[in-house]
Amino acid sequence: MATFEIAFLGTGSPLPNPDRCGAGQVVIAGDTHVMVDCGWGAARRLVPAGVLPSSIDTAIFTHMHTDHMTDFPDFLFQRWTWGATTPLRVYGPEGTAEMVEGFLLALRRDISFRQAHHGDKLHPDGIRCEVTEVPVPSRPERFLTVGGMTVEAFEVDHFPVVPAFGYRFGFDGRTAVLSGDTSFCESLLHASEGADMLVCEAMNVPMLQQRVLALRAAGREVQAGLFEDVPSYHIPTDEVAKLAKQAGVGELVLSHLIPPIPNEGPQVEEFVRGMNDLYGGNIRVAKDTERVPVTAAHRD
């Protein structure tokens, strides 16, 4: 069976954590590598995750939050200096073209310096981008086929971030869904139906509330207030489990963890507490640089 797996570059959120970078994944289907998001620090996880930057010819973004895009310039330079000779194809919602244009403008002088220094050792097309903004679909809609893998976009509820997308990948008879950032919504439920794997963001509400109380006790009212806004547009762990059960998902992988937790220890168990009572499949808490295969679900 052909390789179909997810390499996790960043499994954290905007909240700082030494173990977890900003959001980023690479979907690997045979010889095809597609990056989904590239938040702070994610590009530096590529090589440790066993992914050559130059092997990625397609990048996809879920939405325009900083923790999903700020390492994109570093990725562009890694891809270029690792030998890319073709433009990077970039897809995403409205705002993607502006983001890429802005980053390339900021890098313009550095690009010219590198070209002057290294000459034709760096291919001029390797730093270019070809951007396509994906229209907002009313249901999962295919916008890309690459290397035998299909990619469908669907809108999720991350209001006031509009539009925000999740993606459904199909390859070799298997399906993986990446939620992006979202609260519970029918579109995510529909897109996840029958998926072999759901990679879903997850928020542990009691653990987040502990952070709020600690901040308030330290007199950091502004930060506490900002944290209190977080639950309005993210999905709690119990709702993730219920959705996975209702959709008949084969395996559930949690990423974009709120609040971020260490890779090991009691906080991991605390984060998923109660989810097994709601969803009977395998639940995995992803780690940065981990590669997780998408396996065909065994259903009765």
CA–CA distance, 140 with 65 (Å, rounded to integer): 22
Cβ proximity of 22 and 41 under 8 Å: yes
DSSP 94: T
Neighbours of 121 (CB within 10 A): 10
Alpha carbon of 284 to those of 92, 116, 132, 180, 254: distances in Å? 27, 47, 33, 17, 6
CB 166 within 8 A of CB 255: no
Strand arrangement, sheet containing 24-29 = 129-133, 88-92, 56-60, 32-38, 24-29, 4-10, 291-293
Amino acid letter for position 225: G
CA distance 199 to 37: 13
Angle, helices 96-106 vs 108-118, to 10°: value is 50
Q: Looking at the DSSP assignment, which residues form a beta bridge with residue 7?
A: 26, 291
DSSP state of 144: E
Catalytic pick among 67, 71, 196, 288: 67
Identify whether 67 is a catalytic site residue. Answer: yes
Q: 152: closest CA among 160, 144, 162? A: 144
The H or E element that residue 292 is part of is: strand 291-293
Catalytic positions, please?
Answer: 67
